[in-house]
Structure formats: structure tokens, C-alpha cells
Amino acid sequence: MAKVLVLYYSAYGHVEAMARAVAEGAAGAGAQVDVKRVPELVPAEVARAAHYKLDQAAPVATVAELADYDAIVIGTGTRFGRMGSQMASFLDQAGGLWARGALHGKVGAAFTSTATQHGGQETTLFSIITNLLHFGMVIVGLDYGHAGQMTLDEITGGSPYGSSTIAGGDGSRQPTDNELQGARYQGRVVAETAIRLHG
């Protein structure tokens, strides 16, 4: 059985919801799945004042445990067209894993959320994927088996580089059924790929 880690950072809960959907898809494919988050770096009083979602149940991951998984799916909200500093800081601490090739050949994937439709989803996904490639990981995107990413019937996230959602400028828009379906699909393909490579 392949072990999959869904590792995320979510300030307002949108990426957290996507992480759960990715995990559902991976578990449905027969993988053992853990959902964990990276530490918050924003001071507590600032996070409260900005209405961050501070009741997230997922445990906080450690860098060392990344080596324990066959696949790692990373999600974070976009910050000015790139991954959030919380996730970047966490990955920046993985130099020891990189140096010994601990993640070589493992499966990697990315998902994200932006405030607006053109707020940097693809550049954020690529900023995550760049890290994963440096770790030597095999990348799984969101292939067109999830046809929902091509719909013109609604505004939707999703691209070949990974699943995504759009939060709206005030954060009031929640992930749609189509976006969650894309996240589940990507999670399933990640798990299936990991099972083929490592199962």
C-alpha cells in the first residue's frame, strides 16, 4: 500500500477544504493517507485580527517525516503569484533530505487557491513543482481526465499543473463541486501513480 501525505498551508480554510478532497481521492484509490499542515508563521494577534482560520484539526508536520511517504501532495494559497511563505519556509528546511536524495523517485503534486481568477494559480503551482523537481520527485498534474477544468459554464479553478480554487477578494467563495472533484481526481491519480511505482 502506498503512503500519501497531503501537506498544506491554509490561512482561511479554502486550501484546507481542497486538501481534504485530495485525501479522499487518494484514499479511494487504496492509499494510506495522512493530512498535515505546516506551521503558521504569522503572530497570533495578527492572524486573529486578519480572521485566519485557526481551528484547523490537521496535525503539524515535521520536515523529517517527508521521507516516510511514497507521494507528497502540496497545497498552499497564492501570495503575489507564488507559494505562501509558510510553505516556502517549511520546504527550505528540507536541505538535508535533498542532500541525501531522500525524496528521489517519490511522487509529487501541487494544488492552490487564489483570491481572483487570474491571481497567479499557475505560477504558484509551478513554484511548488519547481521545489518538487529539485527534490527529484515524479510530478503528477491534473490531466484532462478531469474535463471539468475545461468548462465554460462556470468560473472554475484547475489547470494541467494542479487542482485549484478561487476564494474571491473577501474570501467568501468556497471551493465548488467541480473544483473539489478536480482535487479528488488529482489525489486519485497521485495514489495510483505511487502504487505503480512503490506499491
Q: Is 90 annotated as a binding residue?
A: no
User: Does residue 170 carry a pLDDT above 80?
Assistant: yes
pLDDT in tens, 141-151: 999 999 999 99
User: Does residue 12 carry a pLDDT above 90?
Assistant: yes
Q: Is 10 annotated as a binding residue?
A: yes
Q: Which residues, listed in sequence order, are joined to residue 33 by a DSSP beta bridge?
A: 4
User: Does residue 199 carry a pLDDT above 80?
Assistant: no
pLDDT of residue 60: 98
pLDDT in tens, 122-142: 999 999 999 999 999 999 999
At 142, is the secondary structure helix, strand, or coil? coil
Q: Is 146 annotated as a binding residue?
A: no
Q: Is 80 annotated as a binding residue?
A: yes
φ/ψ region of 71 (left if φ > 0, alpha if ψ in -120 to 50, else beta) reads beta
Where in 60-198 does DSSP place strands (E)? Answer: 71-79, 82-83, 107-114, 138-139, 163-166
19: cell is 486538501
Report the percent of the chain where pLDDT is more than 70. Answer: 99
Q: Is 184 annotated as a binding residue?
A: no
State the Cα–Cα distance between residues 129 and 91, nearest whole angstrom.
12
pLDDT in tens, 83-127: 999 999 999 999 999 999 999 999 999 999 999 999 999 999 999
State the Cα–Cα distance between residues 165 and 171, nearest whole angstrom.
11
Residue 104 DSSP class: T
Helix (H) or strand (E) holding 182: helix 177-198
Instruction: Report domain extents, the chain.
Output: 3-198
Report the percent of the chain where pLDDT is more than 90. Answer: 98
Give residue 46's Cα distance to chain centre: 24
First vs last Cα of the chain: how many Å apart?
A: 5
Q: Is 171 annotated as a binding residue?
A: no
Q: How, if at all, do strands 107-114 and 71-79 pair?
A: parallel
Q: Is 79 annotated as a binding residue?
A: yes
pLDDT in tens, 43-62: 999 999 999 999 999 999 99
User: What fold is seen in the domain 3-198?
Assistant: Rossmann fold (3.40.50)
Q: Is 12 annotated as a binding residue?
A: yes
Q: Is 118 annotated as a binding residue?
A: no
pLDDT of residue 1: 87
Q: How, if at all, do strands 32-37 and 3-9 pair?
A: parallel
State the Cα–Cα distance between residues 17 and 27, nearest whole angstrom.
15
Q: Is 52 annotated as a binding residue?
A: no
Whether the Cβ atoms of residue 174 and residue 11 lie closer than 8 Å to each other: no
Amino acid occupying residue 55: D
Q: Is 6 annotated as a binding residue?
A: no
Please state the pTM of the whole predicted model: 0.97
